[in-house]
A and B are shown apart, each in its own frame.
Chain A
Amino acid sequence: MSNATTGLDAARKQEIKEVVCDILEIDEDEVTEVSLFKEDHDADSLRAIEILAALERTQHVTIDQAELSRMVNLVGVYTVIEEASARG
């Protein structure tokens, strides 16, 4: 598993996972850190923006829309949130 997400503690990761699963309308045991939102969980571009917006709100960060290309699975989201938190 990626080491890129060590900066976020387990509780924070769980919070993010809940937000993502809520928007994708899936159970938490259906998603893994590397399963793809689009290919594996039927997300479209609108869902991706919903995830971005919800994370900005709950994680108190600002995420550039260009980051959507990296937010394809939980690992990608953790990395983007970690970087955004470091900036903020």
Chain B
Amino acid sequence: MNTGMRGTDATPRRVVVTGLGVVTSIGIGIDAFTTGLREGRGGVKPITAFDTTGFDYANGCEVTDFDPAQWIHRVDPDELGRASQFSVAATRMAIEDAGLTVDEVRARRSLVSVGTTDGESRDLDQLVETGLATGPESYDPVVARRVPAGRLSSGIIREFALEDVEAVTIPTACAAGNYAVGYGYDALRSGDVDVALVGGADALCRKTFTGFYRLGTIAPEACQPFDKDRKGILTGEGAGILLLESLDSALARGARIYAEVLGYGLACDALHPVAPDRDSIARTIDIAHRNAGVTPDQIDFVSAHGTGTRANDITEVGAIRQIFGADAMPRTVSIKSMIGHSMGAASAVAAAACAVALTQGFIPPTVNHNETDPECGVDCVPNEARAAELNIVQNNALAFGGNNAVVILGKYRSAA
């Protein structure tokens, strides 16, 4: 949360979102994804990513229509794990969506920051399985080389042959997408870079499904955030990459501006391995509001972390109530009801959803909703998207270990 500035500029640069790339179970590319959000589509289906024998139920939100070769041209897609394929593909979409050429991006000082929970754990699953079956001498060297999580960001640099670039993979689990957006905001605001490709990526993997299953937090059928009968999360996968640049840069090239990044807040508490802490979440929201220079009454809706577990939804809504007041609760929605929990990608994809919501004037719905849990007591925009004139929206991300991150986006209106 850099409030300082570089060089001689008196005012820090304003940062805007001009390109969006998403890979989700309800649509690949920002147009298909937006249609999915507006229609309240669901990406849930039986998991095919791994053998689910032995589990009583195994639904997830898998991306089943992804063709890496369509998006990855310079690098051999087989040299990238599935999460890296998602991050590279979403980046190409974001660059194209921003109306930039790859050469134009390469000519600028750039940042690539990609958040993740699992990195390439999908490949680790496979290596372990091979090792158990036939011994480590059977490891496929191509798969072994794909494993380092740094490749989620370095894969982007290889694909687009970026040169004057910083690459980071941010491992703050299910809040990592927002961390990556915040990092890009700081780098642009301070003048360190001129373009930032930021977001998150994760691939469905057995390790994470099994972990959540063991904790008793996997929903048998559907993800129902804030519903009184909610039964937990559905694991998902995908990527969201936002192309950020300074407002001046966007105006100079006549770019379409989806939204302005007004600020963000981070507050890791490290209190408990998995349980969220209400006060810490409230503190994160407060920091984000102050960093963005907004007040709670200005927030038009909250894109919640909203996993659909009993613990998350009550704790998160409790924190929102703490900041906004019981009589002034914002509309609070969860797109995880549609795309499941895509882990490190989740808050980046949600940030993309917030950006299109601001541009097009609608609030994405919380689907699979029957009856709101009185303990949550929020307007979650049940089942159907709602048209709304929006100015400022808040995107929550809460991760295991108390890694909380909140991003504030605003509609950009040109000065009259």
When distances are taken between beta carbons in the complex, the residues of chain B under 8 Å from A49 are: 214-216
Interface segment, B19-27, B39-47, B139-147, B271-279?
B271-279
Whole-angstrom distance from the CB of B68 to the nearest CB of chain A?
A: 36
When distances are taken between beta carbons in the complex, the residues of chain A under 8 Å from B273 are: 46
When distances are taken between beta carbons in the complex, the residues of chain B under 8 Å from A45 are: 275
- Let me know if A2 is at the binding interface, CB within 8 A: no
Interface size on B, residues (CB 8 A): 7
When distances are taken between beta carbons in the complex, the residues of chain A under 8 Å from B215 are: 46, 49
When distances are taken between beta carbons in the complex, the residues of chain B under 8 Å from A46 are: 215, 273-274
Whole-angstrom distance from the CB of B36 to the nearest CB of chain A?
A: 33
When distances are taken between beta carbons in the complex, the residues of chain A under 8 Å from B274 are: 46
Q: Chain B: which residue is nearest A56 at the CB level? A: B214
The proximity string for A residues 4-39 relative to B, scoring 1 for CB distances below 8 Å and 0 otherwise, is: 000000000000000000000000000000000000
When distances are taken between beta carbons in the complex, the residues of chain A under 8 Å from B272 are: 44
Interface size on A, residues (CB 8 A): 6
- Let me know if A72 is at the binding interface, CB within 8 A: no
- Let me know if A61 is at the binding interface, CB within 8 A: no
Q: Chain A: which residue is nearest B215 at the CB level? A: A49
- Let me know if A53 is at the binding interface, CB within 8 A: yes
When distances are taken between beta carbons in the complex, the residues of chain B under 8 Å from A65 are: 216
Whole-angstrom distance from the CB of B147 to the nearest CB of chain A?
A: 26
Within 8 A of B (CB), among A63-84: 65
Whole-angstrom distance from the CB of A72 to the nearest CB of chain B?
A: 17
- Cα-based distance from A53 to B210 in the complex (angstroms): 12
- Cα-based distance from A62 to B275 in the complex (angstroms): 25
Whole-angstrom distance from the CB of A80 to the nearest CB of chain B?
A: 15
When distances are taken between beta carbons in the complex, the residues of chain B under 8 Å from A53 are: 214
- Cα-based distance from A65 to B216 in the complex (angstroms): 7
The proximity string for A residues 36-55 relative to B, scoring 1 for CB distances below 8 Å and 0 otherwise, is: 00000000111001000100
Whole-angstrom distance from the CB of A55 to the nearest CB of chain B?
A: 13
- Cα-based distance from A44 to B215 in the complex (angstroms): 12
3 closest Cβ contacts across the A-B interface? A65-B216, A46-B273, A53-B214
Give A contacts to B, CB under 8 Å.
44-46, 49, 53, 65
The 11 sampled A-B contact pairs (Cβ below 8 Å) are A44-B272, A44-B275, A45-B275, A46-B215, A46-B273, A46-B274, A49-B214, A49-B215, A49-B216, A53-B214, A65-B216
Given A46-B273, A46-B274, 9 further pairs, Cβ under 8 A: A44-B272, A44-B275, A45-B275, A46-B215, A49-B214, A49-B215, A49-B216, A53-B214, A65-B216
